[in-house]
């Protein structure tokens, strides 16, 4: 094994985290849990966090860029969902 190679792909941590956070952002607003007053606003900050993690996974020479791109797409969907939910809550 070459000294620059490591046993674990440390660069893919941000990419995998962005996918996990994005998936949570898609699921959490629809859980049958009492989130009175905040259900419509949960997805937006989670989506932004997922997008930031995906950006960190895409920068530099890190491994896992395709996973980070998928995390960016999922987090983008979460942001759109969050904006839609927030707008529908504010409209009535």
64 occurs within a structural domain: yes
Q: Please indicate, yes or no, if residue 20 is contained in any of the structural domains.
A: yes
- pLDDT in single tens digits along all 92 residues of the chain: 555 555 455 668 999 999 999 999 999 888 888 888 888 888 999 999 999 999 998 887 768 899 999 999 999 999 999 999 999 888 87
Q: What is the pTM of this model?
A: 0.82
Ramachandran class of 64: left when φ > 0, alpha when ψ lies in -120 to 50, beta otherwise: left
In this prediction, residue 77 carries a pLDDT of: 95
- Any domain includes 2: no
State the angle between helix axes of 65-91 and 13-27 in degrees (0 to 180), rounded to the nearest 10. Answer: 30
Count: domains in the chain = 1
Answer whether residue 5 is part of any domain.
no
Domain assignment present for 16? yes
Quote the pLDDT of residue 31.
87
Residue ranges making up the domain that contains 18: 12-91
Q: Tell me, yes or no, whether 7 lies in a domain.
A: no
Confidence (pLDDT) at 18: 94
Listed residue (50, 80, 81, 82) closest to 68, CA to CA: 50
Task: Tell whether 1 is covered by a domain.
Answer: no
């Amino acid at each position: 094994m070459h000294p620059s190679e490591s046993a674990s792909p440390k660069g893919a941590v941000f990419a995998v985290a962005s996918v996990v956070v994005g998936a949570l952002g898609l699921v959490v607003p629809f859980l049958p849990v009492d989130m009175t007053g905040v259900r419509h606003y949960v997805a937006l900050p989670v989506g932004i966090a997922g997008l930031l993690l995906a950006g960190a996974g895409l920068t530099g020479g890190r491994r896992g860029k395709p996973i980070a791109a998928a995390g960016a797409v999922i987090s983008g969907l979460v942001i759109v969902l969050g904006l839609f939910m927030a707008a529908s809550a504010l409209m009535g």
